[in-house]
Structure formats: C-alpha cells, structure tokens
Amino acid sequence: MKNIIIALLALISATSVFAGDSSSGCGMGWEVAKNQSLVSSSTRSIVNATFSNTIAMTMGTSGCAKHSIVKNDAKGIHFAEANMNQLAIEMARGNGEFVASFASVFGCQNSRAFGSMVQAKYETVLPSESTSGVELYNNVKAQIKNNATLSSTCSLM
C-alpha cells in the first residue's frame, strides 16, 4: 500500500511538472491558482465551475477575451440597429439587399429561405414599431432555430 501511494505521488508530481496548460489565463480560477500545472489547472476548473462565472468569462468581463458567439451577436445586433427601417420594409417583402445581408449575419447561405421565413414570421420578428434592434435580432435568431431548414443551414446558429 505504501508503495502504491509513493508511486501515485511521484506520478502526480511528474505530471504537474510537465503538464503545459494552454488555457487562456482568465476567470476567477486564475486568481486562485496561477501555476502552470495539472493541479492548478484542475483547481481553476473547479473554482470557475463552482462560482459559476461562465457568463462573465464568455462576455469578457473577467479578464477573458469575448467568445466568438458573443462577437457574432454584437455584429448582428449592430447591423439590425443601424438598418431597422430598411430591414422592416424588405422583411415585409421577403427579399432585398438588407435581408440578404441580414441572412449572412446568421451565416445563412440561402437568403431566399431566410427572406421567406422573415416575411412569414414578420409580426413575430417585428411585433411593433418600437421593436429595438436587439429584439429584432433575437426574434429572428429564435425563428431560425425553430425552422428546420434554416437551423441546419445557417452556420452561426
């Protein structure tokens, strides 16, 4: 039994010496355990999971770079806000330059299917004149997820 414990300790210490940690170096876990080792990496994971700061890590508020999904959403929201009037007109028709560009924001290659969907769901995606760009973006995103064709062909979903 004594030999097994000694062997395990030797294995753990050898592994921690050679275990290069390529994680990004952010989150609350990095404040607790900054060493580049297997033990430190495990400690960081446990701390980050325990204190559930995943949202802060994803949004870039805890020293982490913003996740690509957040960056894509920011681009889409900016596009929707900057082009609300033209989008509203073209979405009612189901086609146009702005609708095609908005489709590409979601990674949709088939702008016709996208245009048909936003036209059919117009009152859902743009329920009132006071709908904000954020609401429009989120409403369209939800409709894409509920559409069998678009959810499988839009690459950013």
Rounded to two decimals, the pTM is 0.57
Q: Over range 18-23, report the average pLDDT.
A: 45
Q: Tell me: pLDDT of 73 over 50.
A: yes
Q: How far apart are CA 118 and CA 106, in angstroms?
A: 13
| pLDDT at residue 22, rounded to an integer | 47
Write down the pLDDT at residue 123: 97
Cβ atoms of residues 104 and 119 within 8 Å: no
Determine contact, residues 46/55, Cβ cutoff 8 Å.
no
pLDDT tier, 8 (very low <50, low <70, confident <90, very high otherwise)? low
> Which one has a higher pLDDT value, 112 or 156?
112
pLDDT on residue 117: 97
